[in-house]
Amino acid sequence: MAGRYGRPRSILRMRTLAGQVFLLQVAIVVLLVAASVVALVLQSRAGSEREARNRSVAVAETFANGPGMEEALRSPDPSTVLQPKAEAARKGSGVDFVVVMNLESVRYTHPLPDRIGRKFVGNVAPALDGRVVTEKIEGTIGPLVQAVVPVTAANGDVVGLVSAGITIKKVSGVAEGQFPLLFGSAAGILLLTMGGTALVTRRLRRQTRGLGPTEMTRMYEHHDAVLHAVREGVVIVSGDRRLLLANDEARRLLGLPADIEGSPVTGLGLDPVITGLLESGRSATDEVHSVGARLLAVSQRATDRNGGPPGSVTTLRDTTELQALMGKAAVARGRLKLLYDAGTEIGTALDVVRTCEELADFATARFADYATVDIAAGVLRGEEPTAARATAEGLRRSAFSGPRDDTGLYPLDSVIRFMPTTVVGAGLLRGEAVLDNDLAQRSGWQQQNPDRAERIVRSGFHSMIAVPMRARGVILGVATFWRAQKPEHFEDEDLSVAEELVARAAVSVDNARRYTREHNVAVTLQRSLLPQGLPDQSAIEAAYRYLPAQAGLGGLGGVGGDWFDIIPLPGARVALVVGDVVGHGLHAAATMGRLRTAVHNFSTLDLPPDELLWHLNELVARIDLDESAEGSEGGGVTGATCLYAIYDPASGRCTMARAGHLQPVIVSPDGDAVFADVPGGPPLGLGGMPFETLDVQLPQDSRLVLYTDGLVEDRRRDIDEGLELLRDTLSGHPGRTPEETCEAVIRVLVPARARDDVALLVGRTRRLAAENVAEWDVPSDPSAVARVRSDVSRKLTDWNLVEEAFTTELILSELVTNSIRYANGPIRVRLIRDRTLICEVSDRSSTSPHLRQAASTDEGGRGLFLVAQLAERWGTRYTDDGGKVIWTEQLLQPEAHGPV
C-alpha cells in the first residue's frame, strides 16, 4: 500500500511478491559472480605457486646437469667459469636468480656480484643427500619459490649445489588478466537480470497495487472488524469536507444517525467546536472538548501527507471517567511525593530537637503556614516516656517555624501543660488527632489560654490540626499545624496527611531519643572509667582534655575507647599513659576500662615500659581468645593502641614505649616542638614483635604531649597534615602552662562536631631539688650499717624530720643488712624528701626478698616483716644492669614537704 498513491518504496523494504522475486534473482546473480571470482582467485594463486615451483626446479636441474659442470666446480676459480653461464641461464629462462654453491653453501654465482662468496639463505640439507628441495620464502624481491638441486659427479657423489628461484608475481599475470573479462561478463548478466526483473515487478505492482487477492481480502476484513470493535471513535473526512467514514464508537460519542456517509460536515448537527475542527482539517493532539455530558480527547491528522488522498482522519476518546481518576491520582501522587520527601528530609540526624526542627520546617514549606512541635521533657533527656511523667512535667516547645513570631503562639523552650478539658488536651491523652477548621468559632481550643487564643485569631489563623506524636504505643509529644496566610482551610484529607507525616517523624524522634539514652549511658560509663582528677605527685605539672565524639557522628553512643592516665610510681616517679580502643559505644568504653585497670595493676609491679606493654599485649590476646570462644557479639580488644612513659624527676630521664600508637611530642623549654622517635610496636593483641623503648633526658620545664588519633585525624585533612598542624601549634610558646597548651591545641585542631573522641595529656616536667636528695655508697661490711644510720640521722635532722629519724634508721638498717648478707657488688642508699619520705637501697642482686611470718624458733626472717609494719608502702623494682632497688615510703606532715 506504500506505493498506492505514488509514494516511492525502498527496495530493501519490499513486502510484495514481485519485490521478493526481484530481490531473490538479484541475490542469486550476485552470489554466482562472487563465487566465480573467489574460485578464480584461489585457482590463480594455486596455479601460480605450482608454476613457480616447476619452473625453478626445471631451471636448476638443467643447469646442474649441464656439460662441464663438474670440471667447473673443481677448477681453481669456479666463479669466473660459472658466473657468465648462470647469468645467461637466468635471463634465458626468466627466473630471478640462478645460484651455484659449494657443499658449504658458499655462492659461486649470483645476479648481484657483491653477494658472491656469501652464504646461501635456504634449506640445503636434503640437496646434500642427493634430493631436490623446494620452498616458498619471503625474499627481498617479494614472495618467491626457490629450488635447490645437487650436482653429482660420475661416481654419484654430490660435488656442488644449484639453486634457481622465481617470484610468484611473474607467473600470476595470466590469471589476473582474466579478471576484467570476468567482471565485465558478471556486470552484464547482472544488469540484464535486474532489467527483466524490474519490468516484471512493475507490471505486478500495477495490477495488484502491491498485494495479492488474499491479502487484499484479509486487509478489508481486518479494516471492517477494527472499525466496529475499537473503543475509539474514527471519523474520515474527504478533501471537500464530506463524511467518508464513521465507525460505531464515533456514532455513539457524537450521536450520529445511520446512513450519513457522504453528507457535508456542516450538516451533521454536531457541536460547533467539533464541526469547526472537522471542517478546518488542522492537526490536533488530545484536545479535550465537551460534547454534551462527555469530555472527549480529540486528535486529528491530514491524510494527504506523503502522497495520500486529500482529507483528514479524526479519533475521539471518552475521557470523562479518566479525568476524574486523574484528578484523584494527582492528589494521591502529591501526597505520596510529600511523604516521600518527608522521609528524606526529616530525621537526618539522631538528635531529638533537630528532628523536631526538620518536621516544623518541612511542614511550613509544603503543608501549613505555621508549625510547632512540643516534646515531653523526659524524651529530650533520652528517658522512656510515660503519660504520667508527660502530664506532670509538661511538654517543652522544641521547634517553631513560621514567617512571624508575634502571633500569640508559645515561644521556643516554653513548657506547656495541655488541659485535659480542652480539645487538644483530650486528644493528646487519647492519642487522637484533632482538626479545627474554623478557629474563629472558638470550639474549646481557646480554653488553654484565652488571651493567646485572642491574639492568634487576630493574627489571621483560621484552621489548625494537632497530631499526637506516638511511637511504639507511647506519646512523645504533639505537633500542631496552623494556616493563616493560605485561604484554604484544613480538611479531613489534610488530617490524614498530617497524621502520616507526624507518624514518620515520630519514628525518627524515638530513634533519636533512644540514641540519646545510649549516648548518655556510654558517656557516663566512660567518664566513670576515666580519671576523675589528677593524683598528687611532684614529678610533673599536668593538664588533660577528653572530648567524646559528637552523638550521631561517631557510631553507637558517640563515645569511643580513648583514655589516659597519670600513675604515681615509687621513687617520686610518674607514669603517663594514653591509649585508644578501636570502635565506639558501650563495648569500646568497657574495653577501655579493662585496659586502664590492667595498666594500673601492671604498674604496681614497677615494670619498664616495654615489659609492661608486653604483659598488656599478652592479656589482650588472652581476652580475645576467650571472647572468640564464647562468641561475643562485641568483638575482642584487637586493634587497641597504647603509649606508656615513665618520668623520673630525680634524674630527668624519661623512658617511653608504644604499641601501635602515635608518636608523642616533646616541647623544649625554649619552645621547640619535635616528635619523639619512639620505636614502633604492633597494636595490642597482635603480638609477634617485641616492644622497644626510647630513653630521653628532659630538662626542667619541658612539656611532654601525649594524644590519640582523634586529635589529628579529620575528614578534611589527612593525618600527616594534622601532625604538622599539631607541631606548629605547640612550637614557639615556651611560656604556656599545660592548661593553656590544652586549650590552644583543642581550639586549633578539634572541629565543632568531632567524629572521633579525643584524649590529650600535657605534662610539664619538674626536677627534684638537690637538697631533697641524699645518696651514700655502702661497702659490703656489716660495720657500715652503723655509719649509714648516723648519716641518715644527720640528714633527717637537717630536713627537720627528727621524729621520723628512728623509724627510718630501723628500716635502712634492715634493708642494708639484707643487701650485705645476700647480695654481691656495691650497695647504694638514696633518701628522697618529697610528699613522702622515700628510702631506696640498691644492689646487684636480682633476688627479690619475700615477706614471711617467722616462727618462734626461727632466728631470722623478721626484718622485712618489721619494715612492712614501719613503712606506709614498700616494694622492689629491677634495674637495667640486672640489679634491684628495694624502696619504702613514709608519710610526712604537709609542712615537712621540701621544695621541688
H, E, C per residue of 269-311: CCCHHHHHHHHHCCCEEEEEEEECCEEEEEEEEECCHHHCCCE
Q: Crossing angle of helices 78-93/17-64, nearest 10°?
A: 150
Q: How many residues does the chain have?
A: 900
Give the separation between CA 691 and CA 609, rounded to whole angstroms.
9
Question: Which of 77, 170, 62 minimizes the C-alpha distance to 116?
Answer: 77
pLDDT given for residue 658 in this prediction: 94
Residue 551: CB atoms within 10 A of its CB come to 23
Question: Which of 357, 343, 296, 360 minimizes the C-alpha distance to 323?
Answer: 296
Q: Tell me if 127 sits within 8 A of 148, measured CB to CB.
A: yes
Question: Which of 893, 889, 892, 863 minimizes the C-alpha distance to 874?
Answer: 889
- Stretches in the chain below the pLDDT threshold 70: 1-22, 25, 29, 33, 36-37, 40-46, 172-179, 181-182, 186, 197, 200-201, 204-229, 293, 307, 320-332, 386-392, 550-559, 585, 627-638, 688, 848-863, 894-900
DSSP H or E run through 171: helix 168-171
Please tell me the chain's helix, strand, coil percentages from 3-state DSSP, rounded to the nearest 5.
45, 25, 35
Q: Tell me if 197 sits within 8 A of 22, measured CB to CB.
A: yes
Calculate the alpha carbon distances from 226 to 89, 220, 229 in Å: 89, 10, 5
> Can you list the positions of beta strands (E) in 88-240?
97-101, 133-139, 142-152, 158-167, 233-238
Calculate the alpha carbon distances from 240 to 271, 311, 572, 660, 712 in Å: 20, 8, 119, 95, 88
CA torsion through residues 682, 684, 690, 695, sign: positive
Q: What are 26-67's pLDDT values in tens digits?
A: 777 677 767 766 776 666 666 777 888 888 888 888 888 888
Q: Tell me if 568 sits within 8 A of 836, measured CB to CB.
A: no
Which residues make Cβ contacts (< 8 Å) with residue 41, sequence separation at least 6? none
DSSP H or E run through 82: helix 78-93
Give the separation between CA 823 and CA 845, rounded to whole angstroms.
5
Sheet of strand 703-707: strand arrangement: 540-547, 758-765, 703-707, 665-667, 673-675
pLDDT given for residue 207 in this prediction: 61
Give the separation between CA 813 and CA 68, rounded to whole angstroms.
130
Which residues make Cβ contacts (< 8 Å) with residue 341, sequence separation at least 6? 362, 366
Pairing of strands 653-659, 641-648: antiparallel
Q: Give the three-class secondary structure for 475.
A: strand
> What distance lies between CA 754 and its chain's CA centroid?
20
Give the separation between CA 63 and CA 838, rounded to whole angstroms.
121
Which residues make Cβ contacts (< 8 Å) with residue 657, sequence separation at least 6? 608, 609, 610, 612, 613, 643, 644, 645, 678, 679, 681, 691, 692, 693, 694
Longest dimension (CA), the chain: 149
Give the separation between CA 176 and CA 391, rounded to whole angstroms.
108
> Which amino acid makes up residue 356?
C
Q: Tell me if 890 sits within 8 A of 872, measured CB to CB.
A: yes
> What distance lies between CA 24 and its chain's CA centroid?
60
Give the separation between CA 756 and CA 549, rounded to whole angstroms.
5
pLDDT given for residue 897 in this prediction: 55
Pairing of strands 836-843, 884-891: antiparallel
Q: What are 316-348's pLDDT values in tens digits?
A: 877 766 666 565 556 667 777 777 777 788 888
Give the separation between CA 503 and CA 481, rounded to whole angstroms.
14
Calculate the alpha carbon distances from 210 to 19, 193, 202, 305 in Å: 9, 21, 10, 20
Give the separation between CA 815 and CA 833, rounded to whole angstroms.
18
Give the separation between CA 348 and CA 360, rounded to whole angstroms.
14
Q: Tell me if 623 sits within 8 A of 610, measured CB to CB.
A: no
Per DSSP, what are the bridge partners of residue 471? 474
Question: Which of 63, 54, 53 minimizes the C-alpha distance to 86?
Answer: 63
| Cell numbers for 451 | 488571651
Q: What are 495-518's pLDDT values in tens digits?
A: 888 888 888 888 888 888 888 887
Q: Tell me if 503 sits within 8 A of 478, measured CB to CB.
A: no
Sheet of strand 284-291: strand arrangement: 243-246, 233-238, 311-318, 294-302, 284-291
Q: Where do we find the cell 618489721? A: 866
pLDDT given for residue 440 in this prediction: 80
Q: Return phi, psi of residue 775, to 5°.
A: -135, 145
pLDDT given for residue 132 in this prediction: 87
Calculate the alpha carbon distances from 32 to 35, 36, 46, 139, 462 in Å: 5, 6, 21, 37, 91
Q: Tell me if 370 sits within 8 A of 482, measured CB to CB.
A: yes
pLDDT given for residue 786 in this prediction: 86
Region of 511 please: left (phi>0), alpha (psi -120 to 50) or beta: alpha
DSSP H or E run through 706: strand 703-707
Q: What are 138-178's pLDDT values in tens digits?
A: 777 778 888 888 988 878 888 888 888 888 777 765 555 66
pLDDT given for residue 448 in this prediction: 78
Question: Which of 359, 323, 367, 321 minimizes the C-alpha distance to 343?
Answer: 359
> Can you list the positions of beta strands (E) in 277-428?
284-291, 294-302, 311-318, 370-376, 395-401, 415-416
